[in-house]
Chain A
Amino acid sequence: MDIIQWFVAPLQYEFMVKAILVSALVGVVCSALSCYMTLKGWALMGDAVSHAVMPGVVIAYILNIPLAIGAFVFGVGSVIAIGFVKAKTRIKEDTVIGLVFTGFFALGLVLISKVKSEIDLTHILFGNVLGISNDDILQTVIISVITLATLAVLRKDLILFCFDSTHARSIGLNTTFLYYVLLSLLSLTAVAGLQTVGIILVVAMLVTPGATAYLLSDNFDHITLIAMASGVFSSVIGTYISYHIDGSTGGCIVVVQTLLFIIAMIFAPKHGLLARSTKN
């Protein structure tokens, strides 16, 4: 097939143009945040929060308020719950995380199945970027602007917080504030990611680009740019592939992301498997 045709043909449909633009935007935002998630060691937290927002999303649907608000409340709420159970019991953190997020997720499932609404469970679980509404696009844009602006302003403080929170505290930075900023951004982007790849795969958007970039550079700025580039690339190419093979969009996006990671893991100039094996 003609390569130009491969890229141009889907653009005759408005829903495809929208889908490509939205998933590209979500790719940028999630990737920017993924650098902090990877370096802070918050992959499991990302998984927990993205699942825990589910009942919030359903309740927001029912109350007819923006999904982001419901997700935000339950995302942050789940982490507070995790912190509370960890502090008050003898149970280890990873157990508490697993316990809390599945509990929230299950509550979401029950709500969806019992409450009469227009919500389609598969759309929440696996995304529905091809059928995204204009309201949802607007919401994604707002979330993106908030997230990118916050990351831009607090960039240095957040890097310091991820790297050395002890020093951050010793120079009077409010690390509790930074913790909740990162957490709030995580909850918000989980909603944005939910539109494109769904709850189950959103953690990939929040982890994989950062991990890929981390193998390719030792400089935080470069890592951020590489992550964002790989995020956009995966989103756009993944959406195209899903069109041509008529397959799951979220699945295609994450498969492309994972392939990029595998390529980086093998061929990265310094931290790749090949470079490491020739060094030894």
Chain B
Amino acid sequence: MNEISIDIEDVTVAYHGKVALESASLQLKTGTICGLIGMNGAGKSTLLKAIMGFVKPTKGRILINKLPIRQVQKNNLVAYVPQSEEVDWNFPVSVHDVVMMGRYGYMNLLRIPKFHDKNIVQESLERVEMWQMQDRQIGELSGGQKKRTFFARALAQESTVLLLDEPFAGVDIKTEKMMINLLMELRQKGYTILISTHDLASIKTFCDQVVLINRTILAYGNTADVFTEENLSRTFGGSIGDLSLAKNLLTQEDR
């Protein structure tokens, strides 16, 4: 059944009195890949953080699979793949260690992995073709391999809601293709996937839904209906560079 998975109602987030996101409302059904589009500073990361429960909305409510965020976290319902800049790549952990961290929520206090946890970690690493690299310290990886490691962690977490912040920034074509294919597989299984991205070119190829954001949610819905030149110009209003880029992409697609 296509039930509502991410349910955001009239959410306002402010940092130190400055409003970063105002009266945002959004409902995403299960089995969706949704692209989150907006300029830098438009509130994409704020929206993702609000969904994860890292920032508390000053107004409104957020439910995931009908549950409030505390319950969501306790039940491992949401996994988050961070931007590469947010990670300390010199930290003494291996690829395998990082993916195992995706299983902590299922373990006892001492976080001793069971056979099942080890299996899932291996499976997740194999799906992103990183099993051979499992003992590498994470700083030794290429940009694409780094991304795949954190994607494997999200897979190991077995959360049916995935949030990815700029997953394709600085990765190779192979990684991008592999991740898109995996995301489409997960959509088939009923996962809800929300991706913030700058890469307008690839939106149409795998996102069935889009959300346009500029301080508030301007529009959302089926890509075919919402990903229009008019809406994009509202999203990127004033930013000529982005706008003409967007126009170019749209006309290329139409040809």
Contact = CB atoms under 8 A, between A and B. Distances in A.
B52 A156 contact: no
Interface residues of A, number: 22
Contact of B86 (A153, A166, A214): A166
A162 to B, nearest CB: 8
Contacts of A171: 73, 76, 102, 104-105, 157
Interface stretch (A17-25, A134-142, A218-226): A218-226
Given A167-B80, A170-B78, A171-B157, A223 B101 contact: no
B215 to A, nearest CB: 24
B88 A163 contact: yes
Contact of A164 (B70, B78, B87, B109): B87
Nearest to B107: A156
Interface in A188-230: 214, 217-220, 223
B86 A170 contact: no
Most buried by A among B54, B101, B109, B137: B101
Contacts of B76: 171-172
Contacts of B111: 156-157
Given A160-B101, A171-B105, A166 B80 contact: yes
A223 B90 CA distance: 13
A243 B91 CA distance: 39
B110 A169 contact: no
A220 B92 contact: yes
Contact of A219 (B88, B94, B153): B94
Contacts of A81: none
Given A156-B110, A160-B101, A160-B104, A170 B79 contact: yes
B116 interface: no
Nearest to B80: A170
B25 to A, nearest CB: 23
B245 interface: no
Interface of B: 52-54, 70, 73-74, 76, 78-80, 82, 86-88, 91-94, 97, 101-102, 104-105, 109-111, 137, 139, 153, 157
